[in-house]
Structure 1
Amino acid sequence: MEQPEDYTAPILIEGLPGVGHVGKLVADHIVDELHGVLITEILSHHFPPQTSIDRDGIMHLPKNEFYWVDGDPPLLLLTGDCQSTSPEGHYILTGHYLDLAAKYGVKRIYTLGGYGVGHLVDLPRVLCSADRPLLLQEAIDAGAVFSPDEPPGGIIGAAGLLICLGSLRGMEGIALLGETSGYLVDPISAQAVLSVLSKLIGLDIDPTRLQETAEELEGALEKLKESEQDREREELSYIG
């Protein structure tokens, strides 16, 4: 088996499951489109106590994965099945992720996620945060938005911890959060995040499959909007 130094990369992109699965959709899309090479699998007792069952009836433990993508620059991607079920586990797992990032030569981290707003969004914004002002401006110049009061309460999970704990190890970082209802897996928001990320790192990637998935979702969203409007009209009919 090839050693970690054979897969050195200056950039780590994290896209673990979260609100709307926004980050995971982006990370998985990059891995698929750019033919990422699986280099590490991570199992942990901090993951949910459940197994998945594939189409052949075989059970599998939850796991997260590091992929390497050959490019200019080369990229590492962290994606997978889940995040920790406990606060302690989040810190422990983030420490392991950063240990691996250091072995692979990572200097900058991009974390991707969703920002749930509790209602349907036609044109999702991509909110940004960073560990230093210059990087924040880079994200804004690439089309992201900084809003001092959003998300309220900060960023929960790997998307926030990787940036802050990575900064303590000398790795700089930017978090990108796509605005999403939080009701559904959201490829529309993922498409917006991918657009900003592509500008930040000069990523040339075909967004067609994400666009097709987004178009399919738009039909479902239209039906959901009509349902919401019908419910509002029914509620108003009981007033007065």
Structure 2
Amino acid sequence: MQTHINYLNEINLNNPILIEGLPGVGHIGKLAAEHLVDELEAEKTAEIFSPYLPPQVIVQDDGIARLVRIEIYTAELENNKNDVILVVGDHQSVENTGHFEITEKILDIATENNVQTIYTIGGLATGEMSDTPEIYGAVNEHYPKQKLEEKGVKFEQGKPKGGIIGASGLLLGLGNQKEIPATCLMGETSGYIVDPASAQKVLRILSEMLEIEIDTKKLEERAEEMEEVVSKLKQRYQEEQQQPQPTGDDLRYIG
């Protein structure tokens, strides 16, 4: 088996923008891109299969198993100068070579369809919970970062530390070689949990950049549910910290 694209329908779009949201830190990209698929009523037009994806199948609700895959959705936007291609999926590559190979396949779709700009979405792990996550950016040589700075996106030296791993980063680097303007929007997140609040904030900026309206109510509801979970975890941690520590006498009963 080789990495290949399985086309389900013909792609015929007007000056499309490509948005990638594969699984990553805080699942911010996955949450945001899948939310866009639903909100824009996008149609699945292609699938990417690769031996570099995890060696497993997904068992669906009806009990039928399918190979893990990356999915390509498209949406035609009325009264908008750009249509949209959305890249979502079950996993990213488990090997370095696979990251490059899968990204090249995504870029094949981009070049074949005259993609104007690439937006990738990821998370920036801070190790701490934040009620007001910041959004950080990175761009390749062909994307003017001033456009993002005007929307409140931050660019700071050393962030993200160590660079951007996976498709979210490679689409900028390899896209640069193909002279496609590309940028990555990274929402701050603890890195410990799925973070719909940060995904929601990224989507607000993205909607302004694309000049489209996106209803983020469902993500807001998920964010509120997650806040309740986090609050309970914090309370439990505090209670455990307040409990008396075992003395030397108590330790003789352990093990």
The TM-score normalised by the length of structure 2 is 0.87
Query: Residue 136 of structure 2 corresponds to which residue in structure 1?
Result: 127
Alignment partner of 2:118 out of 65, 89, 109 = 109
Alignment of 1:187-206 (within 5 A): 187-206=196-215
TM-aligned CA deviation for residue 8 of structure 1: 4.5
Q: Match of 2:29, SS?
A: helix
Query: Residue 183 of structure 2 corresponds to which residue in structure 1?
Result: 174
Q: Distance in 2 between matches of 1:63 and 1:180?
A: 26
TM-aligned CA deviation for residue 224 of structure 1: 2.1
Structure 2's unaligned 5+ residue stretches are 1-7, 248-255
- Find out whether 1:14 has 2:20 as its counterpart: yes
Q: Match of 2:145, SS?
A: helix
Q: Match of 2:73, SS?
A: strand
TM-aligned CA deviation for residue 229 of structure 1: 3.5
The TM-score normalised by the length of structure 1 is 0.92
- Find out whether 1:47 has 2:56 as its counterpart: no
Label 1:236 to 1:185 Cα distance change in 2 as closer, same or farther (>3 A). same
Q: Distance in 1 between matches of 2:238 and 2:179?
A: 50
Whether the aligned pair in 1 keeps the contact of 2:142 and 2:180 (CA below 8 Å) is no
Structure 1's unaligned 5+ residue stretches are none
Label 1:150 to 1:231 Cα distance change in 2 as closer, same or farther (>3 A). farther
Q: Distance in 1 between matches of 2:44 and 2:219?
A: 22
Which structure: larger Rg?
2
Query: Residue 164 of structure 1 corresponds to which residue in structure 2?
Result: 173
Q: Percent identity?
A: 41
Report the structure, 1 or 2, having the larger helix content.
1
TM-aligned CA deviation for residue 7 of structure 1: 3.1
Q: Number of residues paired by the alignment?
A: 237
Alignment partner of 2:64 out of 43, 58, 61 = 58
Q: Deviations over 1:146-204 (max 9, x none)?
A: 11111110100000000110011010011001111111111011011111111111121
Q: CA RMSD in A?
A: 2.0
Query: Residue 250 of structure 2 corresponds to which residue in structure 1?
Result: none
Whether the aligned pair in 2 keeps the contact of 1:135 and 1:174 (CA below 8 Å) is no
Query: Residue 4 of structure 2 corresponds to which residue in structure 1?
Result: none
Q: Deviations over 1:205-229 (max 9, x none)?
A: 1111111111111111111222343
TM-aligned CA deviation for residue 134 of structure 1: 5.9
Q: Deviations over 1:85-138 (max 9, x none)?
A: 000110111111101111111021000011111121211111101013862111
Whether the aligned pair in 2 keeps the contact of 1:36 and 1:68 (CA below 8 Å) is yes
Query: Residue 100 of structure 2 corresponds to which residue in structure 1?
Result: 91
Whether the aligned pair in 1 keeps the contact of 2:141 and 2:176 (CA below 8 Å) is no
Whether the aligned pair in 1 keeps the contact of 2:143 and 2:182 (CA below 8 Å) is no
Q: Match of 2:61, SS?
A: coil
